[in-house]
Amino acid sequence: MAEELKNTTVAFLVAPEGIEQVELTEPWKSVEATGGTPRLVSTDSGTVQAFNHLDKADTFPVDVTTDDAKVDDFDALVLPGGVANPDYLRTVDSAVALIKAFFDAGKPVAVICHGPWSLVEADVLRGRTITSWPSVRTDIVNAGGNWVDEEVVVCREGPNTLISSRNPDDLPAFNATLVTEFAKQNAAH
């Protein structure tokens, strides 16, 4: 199992601040533990500021900016939550374009908590089933998505696989599912 994601590079797309730290670090560790290479992508170079809910937590170095990131350099995408993180990302054209490019390329995407706000902006939810933090439900439905209240959802409608979870309590299931789904995609290519 430790080599499930060998030769798999996973983009973690985040804003300069406001990322829910465990929604970044726990999936990151799961990718690394299974042989994958996580890379931090943000709208600005330097470091990003994570949070534990509303309290500042750790900072993390950015590997590549959204202006320089190319979807062909990655095998999958993870969109952590935190209220401010996806709210900011959906206002940055290069971030929204990168998300859309992952969908257009048929690459798997995993999103948790408030993260689907970025997917709403990228207009990639029509006809897709997804879960999220409850306050994002109306936005998902208005964007044509089918919202459900489940620990983890795997949707294969559309050009790619979309994995989603509601909140940090769902991280064990979210992490196990994203590794499994990313590995399936990697094996297919």
- In the chain, where do the E strands start and end? 9-14, 17-20, 37-42, 47-52, 55-61, 64-65, 76-79, 109-112, 129-130, 146-147, 152-155, 162-165
Task: Please name the residue ranges forming H helices in 44-153.
Answer: 84-89, 93-104, 116-122, 137-142
Give the whole-angstrom CA distance, residue 74 versus residue 87.
23
- CA 182 to CA 95: how far, in whole Å? 21
Question: Catalytic one among 53, 114, 155, 189?
Answer: 114
Q: How many CA atoms lie within 13 A of 37 on its CB side?
A: 8
For 56, the token pair is 């500042």
CA–CA distance, 113 with 86 (Å, rounded to integer): 10
Active site residue 189: no
**Residues taking part in catalysis:** 113-114
